């Protein structure tokens, strides 16, 4: 049994309507400078691993490890086309954090 009220949700802000467990999982997955840099590159786009490597400036194996962590935690989604892998931000709260326009809440 959890030691906090799992029914609690953020009422406002970038994490609005996000379950605590989901918010915690996502924040842990992105809490690394290189992962934040990758998210900045992705923004609202779908980007190939090679483009991320070129943009961020580290090895492909290093980028792939960080992408894997975020994919496994549900932050990113990927698809393969021939020999290229493309990533996009899947988690709505993370899309809000990096400023994707379509993820912003519409006023009521």
Number of other CB atoms surrounding residue 55 within 10 Å: 14
Could you please state the CATH topology (level 3) that the domain comprising 20-99 is classified under. Answer: Arc Repressor Mutant, subunit A (1.10.10)
Domain ranges for the chain: 20-99
User: Is there a contact between 78 and 67 (Cβ–Cβ < 8 Å)?
Assistant: yes
The model's pLDDT over 62-88, given as tens digits with 9 standing for 90+, comes to: 999 999 999 999 999 999 999 999 999
Determine if the pTM surpasses 0.85: no
């Amino acid at each position: 049994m959890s030691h906090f009220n799992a029914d609690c949700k953020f009422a406002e802000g970038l994490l609005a309507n996000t379950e605590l467990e989901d918010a915690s999982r996502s924040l842990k997955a992105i809490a690394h400078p290189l992962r934040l840099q990758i998210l900045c590159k992705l923004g609202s786009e779908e980007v190939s691993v090679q483009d991320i490597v070129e943009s961020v400036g580290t090895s492909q194996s290093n980028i792939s490890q960080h992408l894997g962590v975020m994919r496994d935690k549900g932050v990113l989604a990927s698809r393969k086309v021939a020999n290229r892998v493309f990533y996009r931000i899947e988690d709505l709260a993370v899309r809000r954090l990096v400023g994707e326009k379509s993820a912003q809440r519409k006023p009521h």
